[in-house]
């Protein structure tokens, strides 16, 4: 082990978004707003965002929250505005997230249109005009919310192609965390990166970490490092592997609703809350090995960073087995 290595940087990234909640498939359904992020349980306690902010505060860790703006088409600016203010006031980093499916609500006759048109949520395969309009509108929304301008973008569902990077470069938006090949495998080979730091068409891409896990599906070995899909033992093993040699920042993907059970009860999801607590405790109690860093601050340092190639990390088989055991229905 090389004891002179600096601490491994960890980006705790949180996608903050509202839910279509069946509105495109069920005749009377409408989208779900703040409740999808706050997840209040029967006693009114927030098992989603509130619990997440509490856990981060207990361990004095800063996270990056990618906040979705196209949903304002349906909800208007206030509901997400309250959430973004809460995140900003707690000292975290708020950046831009886009789910294009919300643009469908631009059509006043959207329910009628559903008979012959399917909304899609892809940020890939889009026109320059669409992408430019959405990023500009997102920035304007941040300005109206009175929080710092976003410098980083994450595509909804990690569905990305190089067109998005070109548009970002044209709009001087320098940082991206679009890629997560365990969730979505882009068409273009340059974007098929499991981790690392990559310059794509003038934008620095910091992928959500993907790793090799042959359980349970040897034919589809890539998994993304997420709170819902990675066991605590896998997380610990991956971080330990990564820190022992020079390694790019490790990006973890979290959603506030991961910490709660299903709608409408939102009871605490003890498994996911315990994973997050253990991860945060590991980082907070081992400052020589790990450091939680946000994406949107220290911009100069990010922009001057040298590219780091992707590496294939794989946690021991028994940690993968623990995931399968944890996820089985009880």
Contact residues toward Zn ion (CB under 5 A) are 15, 17, 156
Nearer to Zn ion, 15 or 234 (CB): 15
For residue 161, the minimal CB distance to Zn ion (Å) is: 17
Minimum distance of Zn ion from residue 94's CB (angstroms): 14
| Cα–Cα nearest to 104, from 95, 92, 96, 113 | 113
Under DSSP, the state recorded for 100 is G
Of 14 and 313, CB closest to Zn ion: 14
Burial class (CB in 10 A: 0-12, 13-18, 19+), 286: middle
Distance set, CA 52 to CA 9, 23, 119, 227, 301 (Å): 20, 27, 31, 12, 27
CB of 255 to Zn ion, least distance (A): 7
* Residue 154 or 243 having the CB closest to Zn ion: 154
Instruction: Judge contact between 67 and 80, C-beta under 8 A.
Output: yes
Q: Which is nearer to Zn ion, 15 or 93 (CB)?
A: 15
* Choice between 182 and 315, CB closer to Zn ion: 182
Residue 80: partners with Cβ closer than 8 Å, 6 or more residues away: 16, 18, 67, 68, 69, 71, 72
The minimum distance between CB 298 and Zn ion, in angstroms, equals: 24
**Smallest gap from residue 97 Cβ to Zn ion (A):** 6
Collapsing DSSP to helix, strand or coil, 199 comes out as strand
Assess contact for 150 and 96: CB atoms under 8 A. yes
Relative to beta strand 290-292, strand 8-16 is: parallel
* Shortest CB 144 distance to Zn ion, Å: 21
Nearer to Zn ion, 17 or 46 (CB): 17
Instruction: For Zn ion, give the closer residue by CB, 33 or 156.
Output: 156
Nearest residue to Zn ion on Cβ basis:
15
Neighbours of 86 (CB within 10 A): 17
Give kind and range of the element (H or E) at residue 269: none
Least separation in angstroms between CB 124 and Zn ion: 14
Q: CA-CA-CA-CA torsion for 103, 106, 111, 115, nearest 10 degrees?
A: -70
CA dist., res. 224 & res. 251, Å (int):
9
């Amino acid at each position: 082990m090389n004891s002179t290595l600096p601490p491994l940087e960890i980006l705790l990234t949180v996608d903050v978004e509202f839910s279509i909640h069946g509105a495109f498939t069920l005749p009377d359904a409408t989208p779900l707003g703040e409740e999808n992020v706050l997840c209040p349980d029967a006693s009114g306690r927030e098992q989603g965002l509130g619990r997440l902010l509490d856990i981060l505060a207990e361990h004095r860790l800063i996270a990056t929250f990618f906040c979705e703006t196209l949903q304002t088409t349906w909800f208007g600016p206030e509901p997400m505005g309250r959430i973004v203010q809460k995140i900003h006031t707690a000292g975290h980093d708020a950046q831009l997230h886009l789910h294009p499916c919300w643009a469908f609500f631009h059509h006043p006759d959207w329910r009628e249109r559903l008979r012959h048109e399917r909304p899609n949520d892809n940020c890939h395969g889009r026109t320059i005009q669409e992408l430019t309009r959405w990023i500009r509108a997102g920035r304007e929304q941040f300005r109206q919310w009175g929080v710092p301008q976003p410098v980083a973008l994450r595509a909804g569902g990690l569905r990305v192609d190089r067109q998005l990077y070109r548009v970002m470069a044209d709009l001087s938006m320098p940082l991206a965390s679009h890629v997560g090949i365990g969730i979505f495998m882009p068409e273009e080979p340059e974007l098929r990166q499991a981790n690392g730091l990559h310059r794509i068409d003038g934008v620095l891409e910091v992928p959500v970490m993907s790793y090799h896990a042959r359980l349970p599906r040897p034919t589809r070995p890539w998994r993304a490092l997420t709170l819902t899909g990675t066991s605590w033992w896998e997380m610990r093993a991956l971080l330990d592997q990564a820190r022992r040699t020079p390694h790019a920042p490790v990006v973890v993907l979290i959603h506030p609703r991961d910490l709660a059970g299903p709608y409408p009860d939102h009871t605490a999801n003890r498994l996911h809350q315990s994973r997050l607590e253990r991860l945060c405790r590991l980082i907070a109690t081992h400052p020589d090995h790990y450091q939680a860093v946000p994406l949107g601050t220290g911009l100069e340092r990010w922009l001057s960073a040298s590219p780091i190639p992707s590496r294939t990390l794989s946690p021991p088989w028994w940690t993968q087995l623990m995931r399968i055991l944890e996820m089985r229905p009880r």
